[in-house]
Structure 1
Amino acid sequence: MPVSHDLCQDLKCTEEDILKKRREDESLDALIKQYARLDAEVVKAEKPPVVLADVALETLKKERLQIKDQIAALMQK
């Protein structure tokens, strides 16, 4: 069963850390919203019946990973 990725767990930080940084940085806030949207799309696409081709699903996952890498970079500032 597909599950949503926990950004806090992936980045090894707390929700409070993320909330504080989001308030300070609008670009980080926008990236986190985009990440959440992509994550929801991936979870939905992985649930039966699978409606996306493997290539389309992999593209979504790669885009989600790129966004997470950008978020991680901004969180380290």
Structure 2
Amino acid sequence: MRSDLLPHALNREFPELADAIAKLKATDHHFANLLGQHDAVDTEITKSETGVTPISDDALETLKKQRLHLKDQLYAIASRGS
């Protein structure tokens, strides 16, 4: 599998924030909710990119923008908590 198609798990993307992410996931409901949304969107993107669940290019682009927006929010919260 190409590395650019691997899931974009937050602690993989930001290993320096892994401890903060784990703590926030367990203690901050808002963060955990955003992380759940991010992971669900990321799973849909990965399924599309690997051919498991084909979707249109426009739908894929929309999902990628949604993932990026969620990642930005999660990074901002985690970097404050680290």
Q: Same fold (TM over 0.5)?
A: yes
Which deviates further from its counterpart, 59-68 or 4-13? Answer: 4-13
Change in CA separation of 1:53 and 1:20 when aligned onto 2, cut-off 3 Å = same
Identity %: 34
**Aligned residues, how many?**
77
The equivalent residue for 2:67 is 64
TM-score (structure 1 length as normaliser): 0.84
Instruction: Write out the 4+ residue segments of structure 1 that deviate beyond 3 Å after TM superposition.
Output: none
| Shift, 1:49, TM fit | 6.1
Cα distance in 1 for residues equivalent to 2:25 and 2:52: 35
Q: Distance in 2 between matches of 1:23 and 1:49?
A: 31
Mapping for residues 1-77 of structure 1, pairs under 5 Å: 1=1, 2-48=5-51, 51-77=54-80
Q: CA RMSD in A?
A: 1.8
More displaced 10-residue stretch of structure 1: 25-34 or 47-56 = 47-56
